[in-house]
Amino acid sequence: MDNVLGAPEKWAWRSGFHRVAGTDEAGRGALAGPLVAAAVILPRREELMGLEELNDSKLLSPAKRKFLFKSIVENAEAWSFACASPADIDRWGLQKANQVALREALLNLKPPPDLVMVDYYRLPDLNVPQWSLVHGDRLSRSVAAASVLAKVIRDHLMWFWSLLYPRYGFDRNKGYGTKEHLEALAGCGPAPCHRSSFRSVSQTRLPLEGQLGE
């Protein structure tokens, strides 16, 4: 584990906090599928078995993320996740949907945290002290762990959607606006799991009937 990763937790412990939760999300910029938020409380130990290579999920290979997912679940004092569906995102907007999912993931932690570390911005209506960290998933090991959980869970959900709507290549693009995905949108129109409030989706025509499973 990188020497820098985990420094915020050390500061928190020295300040008298005991259960430090990190939270992060995956899927903010995707055109399809849910936004997945995760929250994790890791033990107060300098080294955790199997987490030596923990880092921001975006810097890890899919195989490494899956390995770390198992190690995080085995080591964590508590972990949780929550989803904002495409309908939630269309109804509330991306920022509010993100905040609702992050807050729900944190509220589901048992035991509850006494400090929360959030990547980039503060969460409203959270009755727990919180630290907002720039590049939190590269500084805080609990935020990095949450980023891995959120990414792996969301990738699995997108694999499921790829079985229902194989034309879009969700198992490969995870719902992001790749060339393959945009071409499928232009040719087939949106599927029910697309975010209709996003411009790249709303500008395409209505979905074709009978594409389920084709």
pLDDT, position 52? 86
CA distance 140 to 144: 6
- My answer on whether omega of the bond before 112 falls inside 30° of 0, hence cis, is no
According to CATH, the topology of domain 7-162 is Nucleotidyltransferase; domain 5 (3.30.420)
Banded pLDDT at 211 (limits 50, 70, 90) = very low
Banded pLDDT at 99 (limits 50, 70, 90) = very high
| Percentage of the chain modeled with pLDDT above 90 | 81
CB within 8 Å of 209: residues ≥ 6 apart? none
Predicted confidence (pLDDT) per residue in 50-87, tens digit: 788 898 898 999 999 999 999 999 999 999 999 999 99
**Residues carrying CATH 3.30.420.10, the chain:** 7-162
Predicted confidence (pLDDT) per residue in 109-158, tens digit: 999 999 999 988 889 989 999 999 999 999 999 999 999 999 999 999 99
Measured at the CA of 35, the angle between CA 163 and CA 103, to 5 degrees, comes to 140
Taking 3-state DSSP, the helix, strand and coil percentages for the chain, each rounded to the nearest 5, stand at 45, 15, 40
* Chain mean pLDDT for the chain: 91
